Each structure stands twice: as structure tokens, then as C-alpha cells.
Structure 1
């Protein structure tokens, strides 16, 4: 199959079951199921192949103006090829959670589904930094590891970290930010995660860095933290799991945990307000990648933070940076494909390849973005303790 002049795509259909999948789910979910099951292969650069396929279909490769004779022939061909029949069973990697949405137990299951794939698998994809959020690609940055270090340092500077400050990292992942905050700024850091695999890895890193006296890693829900106040709170790539209905609870909990004039840095993916939320029954992301994950426009996130009592002081978009970060992750996965399959299984490796490639295109097209919202808990008479200029804030 060939598309626009700048894109050459080759799709190989390895089983007629693909046609039945698409007949029962004629959307991204049906196509994704076929790819995860190994029934479709895509040749060439995977991100560029998806981009070319999207342009091909958007340009009219699938026609809706066929006459009845053509439609009858398609129906006969579908029967001959086995496209008519009961819906095939979804791949084992698909998940549908039960129980009350965004309860603590269900949130823990959702996080485990995504993050407990295996630390060795994530190391292949993320590289040495083990940082699973948007990197910061400056002019003098050449490697993914340098870009991730630049990102966590940007967070630390926006929070105004100094020696002895007590900082909480909500959704700490594999510990990159808390280690940076303690090692480079002398902060005393607590990182919380719902993933036991992440916590185990992060604790080992803390010991190896000789920071056990400054960094603590907990398996804990943000709603369970009760040992505030903190001087600063970072939430990097975690708020996407909270859910719109729980945003007031989330922002309120962080507000209560901060001291007056304490800063919050909320780094989260956003949905463009003109892009509607994806329904669970047709969303590849919700069935395979981020069950119960919800993306909200940056205005909704900042509104929830303000409604909790914070003063929003700075908002920065890093959208283009995330497209580049995801392309780097896909490159790492492809370069280590055989090992990734051994570690996670072929289906799970295909899930991650498809989701990261599609996400790169979504960031590049502007349908989703990523933003850092810096807010402060007002002190007495509304004092903020903040620098008066953005230049001073980042110095």
C-alpha cells in the first residue's frame, strides 16, 4: 500500500481474523486488537508509517460513495474471506476494570496494569534516566538522558528548592526527581507511588546514590499522605490518572499538605478543548494502556488547582518536547525489540510500540499537549514569597 509521496507503507495481514475484528470494531480498537495479536505487521519506521497511514485514510482511501454493485461484491468477498462470523476474542493484554472508578483499590489495579510490566522492560525503553514523562530538549541537549535531567532540574528550579527543604513527589516513578532534588539541591524528599515494582527499583537507586538519609520511597496513595506540611510538591505525569471527578479531591489534598507560600508544580498531559474525550468502548488507550486515565484541557486542570485555594503563577507548554521524547522511546524499543519481547511478551511489546508511536503523532498534531502549572499556597494577607519575574524564578 502506498500513500503520499513522502510515505511508503506496507501492511501485511497475517490472518483473515483481521477482517472479522474490523467488522465488529470498525475503529481504532479493532485495528489495535489485530496489531497486538500479531495479525497485522507494519514495515519501516513505525511512527512515520502510522503518520502516513493516517494521511492516506484521511485522504479518502476508504470510500463511502460506492454503488450497490460494488457493495454486493464487497459483501461476497467478506464472506469468502471469513470476515463474517462471531467477534474474535480480544488479546490477553486487553483489560476492563471493575469496581467503583477511581476508588483506591481500582486505581491501584490500573497503575499496576501499566507500570508493573517490568523494570527491565522500562529500562530498555526509557534509557538510563528511567524517567517516564516529557523531556526538555534544549539547543545544547543531544541525548534523551540529558533532556530528562534538564526537565527534572526545571521542576526543581520552579519549586525553588534549597538545602533542607521538605519536598513531596506525587507519583514518583522510579525515583529520578527525588534523587535529583536531594543530590543537587540538598532537599529532603519523599516519593510516593502505587507501583510496587517502581518503589523497589527507586529504593535501590536511593541506596546506590548514598541518599538514604534524605530520600524515602513509599507505596502510598496521595489521599493517604498525612505527614505534611511540605515546603514544595511535585506531581509529574500523575494527574492524568486522577480523573475529572476526582480533581477537586486531588488538588485539595495537595493544598492541605503544603505550608503557606509552598509551591506546587503540576506537570500533566492535556486534551485540546475541541477534542472530545474518547469513549472507553472504542479507545485503545483505555483498554490496553491507561485504564481509567482521563485527559482534561489545561483550563480544567488550572481551574481545579485554583478552586482548591492555590494561586496559579506560571503555565508552560512543552508539547513539541513530548513528541520528540516519544520518538526517542520508540527508537529505544525498536533497537531492543527482541529483548523487549522476551521480557514482556510479543503482545505487550506491540501495545507499547503502538501507543507510544500514536502518542507522538498526537502531540505533534496538537490534539494533546503537556503543561507545567506552577502554583503557590498563599500565605498571610495573600503573600506568595515568589520572585516578581519569570527570569528570576528560573535563575
Structure 2
């Protein structure tokens, strides 16, 4: 005769109702120690009834994410294996925003919560969740500054633990997919920076605008290796402070000007080249024509712009505003398809010289960052909060899997403003 369902059995049924499946590829550990699910599968521990209550109020990706950030849901073992298994289950395996449970599934979830004593008011979201609703209109200058601050002003020490000494927070370019990713990370990031400089055709005496300059790594590389003068702009006060310090330590204060400035207010062109590395994801679809028009106007005739950005691949859509990544990682961020980006650049009067896809490279980069975070976990938590470290672990591991699956890509699009010198006949100038 079958025994009475355990806490884990009931939690498995609840998660199945949320995901729309009865076949979970995971084992669940209840707060009482009970286990349910296929032997040998990755284990997810539910440590508190509050996690179930969160799912009752937000039955989807957001509720799961809140429970994980709060430490009420945890991963036992390899995060990549666990998140891969979870993302293959039910609605999470589908393309696009996660569909809501049916009425029947919601009733089943309510019944489980009643049986496990999880009924109650909606728990407050973890402190790491962004709330920009009162800041102003979406993609206004004030709200963009607040969105950037939410993501980047979380402590330079934290970022150095994750990113390594290069302090480059964008896709590296790797020689090989094998080997020690952490040991090879610095060389791969330097290779990316150098590739950008070569594509832009930088020469001594040129003037470069680095849009979204981060902690100054591109500016320092371009000034040191190519003898250019650089204006770097960011909306993050913490990034600017460290970028200026790094430029001074490199003896480049006369060559590098780091500003806290919105790209829409730059008025001291023309520039001989513009790099935009991992910045246009914050611009948004509505503002994309303004972004292109503004940067095109800042280019000298014949000057080049390199736009390095994550993209949704064919058949996928951007995340919803109630997704985990929109609430915790990139508030107001929007990913566009490659065709949209190229179309906007061409509509702005810029000629496309080259498009290079780096999807597999970003998966390797993210895996290296997750390894660094895991290795330095205690120090990372001390540098920020445990919730923030959990946000970064979840989003980076899940993003690595999305790049590996092909749901997301990343592309460098090189364009040139008409006039001036003709571009090279072949790509051999920069490959």
C-alpha cells in the first residue's frame, strides 16, 4: 500500500503544476529532509514554506527566482547541471516568456500550499529586486541612470572577484574551447579588446569614444597599445571612479578622459572611431534610432563604429518585464535580433563592413565567470550580499546555457560613416 505523500512528494507536484509537467528531471528535497524524484538527477532543496508561498503568488520564473535569491530554494551540486535540467522541464523549455499555469494547475498549487501550511500573505521580494517604477519614464535619462546603477554599482571588489584582473564585463574571444577557462580568461579578454581595436583601424593620434566604458579596460588598451586619445562614458559612478584610478596607475591620464555621461549628451565630436561593447542592450528598441543617429553624428567622415551586443536568435523573443532577469539583473534592458540592429545602423546611413558572431565565445566566458564566483564565494558575499551573489550565479549560469543552446547570440557589427578613406578590400586587416 502506498504511503502518505512526503513534503518532497507534494513539492514535486507543486513545481510540476507551475511548470506544466508531471515528469520533473530533478530530485526535490523538502525542508523535512524527504526526497522525491528520479534517482541520480540533480537535487534542488526547498528549505522553507515561504518558497512555496512565493510560487503561489508568482507561479513562474519570478517566484522561483525570488525563492532562490532569498535562499529558500537552493541547488545541491553542480549549478550548470541543475539549471540545465530545470530549463528542460515543461514551460521553461519553451521559447519566449513562460506561460502562466492553467486554472486547474493553480488550484492544484493552492491545494498543495494548504496541505503544507504555506498559505499566507505575499512575501516581500528580496532586497536585490529592482523597482524603477517611481524613477520616471522608461529609457528617460534619469531612469536609464537608475537601471545602470542597479546593475553596476554593486561594488567594484565584487566585480573583480567575478571578472578577474582585466575587469572586462563582456564576451571574451577564445583560442580554444578546451583547457582551463579561468586561467585563460585574461588572455581571451585581451584578445577581444585587441580585435575591437583592429576592426576600428585605430592609429596613433586618433580620437576614440568608448560608449559604456565600464572600468576602463578598452580605453586603457587602446591608449597603451594604439596611441589613441580616448573619451570613455558610463552612467555608473563606481565604474568611473575605478576607471580613472586605473588610467592614472597606467600613466594615461593625459590620454584618457572618463566621464559619467549619457551618450545622448556627448557634444564634443567628431571622433575617429566609436566602440560600444555590451552597452546597446540597455538602449531599448524605442531608443535604437536615437542611439544610431547620435553616434553617427559623432563620427568623422569615414570613421568606424563597432557595436558589440547580445541578440535574440531566430525564433526567440525578448524577456518580459516580469522575468527574473528583468527584475534582478538588467531592469529595462532589451535584447534585439541581429536583423533589427543591422537594419537600424543602415537606416542611420552607416555602411556595414563586417558582422562576426561570437555565441560560443560568450558561453565559455560565462562559465569562467561562474567558476571564479564559486571559487571566491565567501569573499563575493562579503563584498556585496548573499542575495546579490545568488543573482549573479543564477543569471550567469542560465545565460551560459542559453548561449550554448543557441537561444541567444552575440555579434560584433562593424560599420563606417560615408566619406573619408575607403575600407580595406578584405577582412585580413583585422582578423
Give TM-score, length-normalised by structure 2: 0.85
Structure 2 CA distance for aligned equivalents of residues 339 and 6 of structure 1: 34
Structure 1 CA distance for aligned equivalents of residues 139 and 220 of structure 2: 29
Map of 1:90 onto structure 2: 125
Map of 2:162 onto structure 1: 125
Structure 2's unaligned 5+ residue stretches are 1-25, 29-36, 94-103
Q: Which of 266, 274, 285 is matched with 2:307 structurally?
A: 266
Map of 1:251 onto structure 2: 292
2:61 matched to 1:20?
Answer: no
- SS of the residue corresponding to residue 88 of structure 2 reads helix
Structure 1 CA distance for aligned equivalents of residues 39 and 347 of structure 2: 48
- SS of the residue corresponding to residue 318 of structure 2 reads coil
- SS of the residue corresponding to residue 92 of structure 1 reads coil
287-296 vs 6-15, which moves further = 6-15
Structure 1 residues 332 and 202, CA, compared in 2 at 3 Å: closer, same or farther? same
Map of 2:141 onto structure 1: 104
Structure 2 CA distance for aligned equivalents of residues 321 and 329 of structure 1: 13
Structure 1 residues 22 and 218, CA, compared in 2 at 3 Å: closer, same or farther? same
Which aligned pairs between 1:55-74 and structure 2 lie closer than 5 A? 55-57=88-90
- SS of the residue corresponding to residue 144 of structure 1 reads helix
Structure 2 CA distance for aligned equivalents of residues 6 and 259 of structure 1: 63
**Residue deviations 1:139-191, cap 9 Å, x none?**
49961000000000000000001111110100000000010001001111111
For the 8 Å contact 1:7–1:52, the answer to whether it is kept is no
Shift of 1:53: 2.3
Q: Which of 366, 386, 389 is matched with 2:423 structurally?
A: 386
2:234 matched to 1:199?
Answer: no
Structure 1 residues 163 and 73, CA, compared in 2 at 3 Å: closer, same or farther? closer
**Residue deviations 1:294-321, cap 9 Å, x none?**
0000110111111111001100000000
Give TM-score, length-normalised by structure 1: 0.92
2:16 matched to 1:11?
Answer: no
Aligned length: 384
Structure 1's unaligned 5+ residue stretches are 61-67
Structure 1 CA distance for aligned equivalents of residues 110 and 256 of structure 2: 64
Q: Which of 199, 218, 233 is matched with 1:177 structurally?
A: 218
Structure 1 CA distance for aligned equivalents of residues 91 and 269 of structure 2: 52
Map of 1:305 onto structure 2: 345
Structure 1 residues 75 and 222, CA, compared in 2 at 3 Å: closer, same or farther? closer
Structure 1 CA distance for aligned equivalents of residues 62 and 54 of structure 2: 9
Shift of 1:77: 3.8
Q: Which of 358, 364, 370 is matched with 2:404 structurally?
A: 364
Structure 1 CA distance for aligned equivalents of residues 250 and 373 of structure 2: 27
2:62 matched to 1:29?
Answer: yes
Structure 1 residues 74 and 232, CA, compared in 2 at 3 Å: closer, same or farther? closer
Q: Which of 275, 278, 294 is matched with 1:237 structurally?
A: 278
Structure 2 CA distance for aligned equivalents of residues 30 and 97 of structure 1: 19
For the 8 Å contact 2:153–2:236, the answer to whether it is kept is yes
93-102 vs 164-173, which moves further = 93-102
